[in-house]
Homo-oligomer: A and B are copies of this chain.
Amino acid sequence: MNSIKMYAISELAAELEISPSTIRFYEDKGLISPERSAGNQRLYSRKHKARLKLILRGKRFGFSLAEIAEMIGYADVPLNEAEQICKSLAFGREKLEEIRRKKEDLALLEADILAMQEVLEKRLQALK
């Protein structure tokens, strides 16, 4: 049996906790490109699912859909020419640098909130 498991759109949507129309929207934007059943319905593989997870992860960090697309490549671009690959590599390196900065930034955000917590704790003590 060569039956690799494929997901229907609503099945995948449920697992990722997004709506089917969001998935279709991402397809419109060129971020993902599923296969189709005999009757033209979308079919997603585990790879497609991983790609969607990656898209959602990027989103959680405030990357725009356009940025994510450049970061992970447009779904239907073949990506076989050397030039295209080099471009993607360069973009990836940039994004890795950005992620490194985000890590620092995240530490700062944490520190800021912790400092604020301290101030609040003190105010609360002063009230008692």
Contacts and interface: CB of A to CB of B under 8 A. Distances in A.
Please classify how large the interface on chain A is, using the bins under 10, 10 to 19, 20 to 34, 35 or more.
Answer: 35 or more
Nearest to A81: B127
A89 B120 contact: yes
Q: Can you list the 10 inter-chain pairs with the closest CB atoms, starting with the nearest?
A: A62-B62, A85-B124, A92-B117, A57-B109, A99-B110, A82-B127, A85-B120, A89-B120, A54-B112, A92-B113
B123 A99 contact: no
Interface string A51-67: 00010011111100000
Given A112-B54, A113-B71, A113-B99, A60 B92 contact: no
Contacts of A105: 57, 60-61
B72 A109 contact: no
A72 B124 CA distance: 16
Contacts of A82: 124, 127
A88 interface: yes
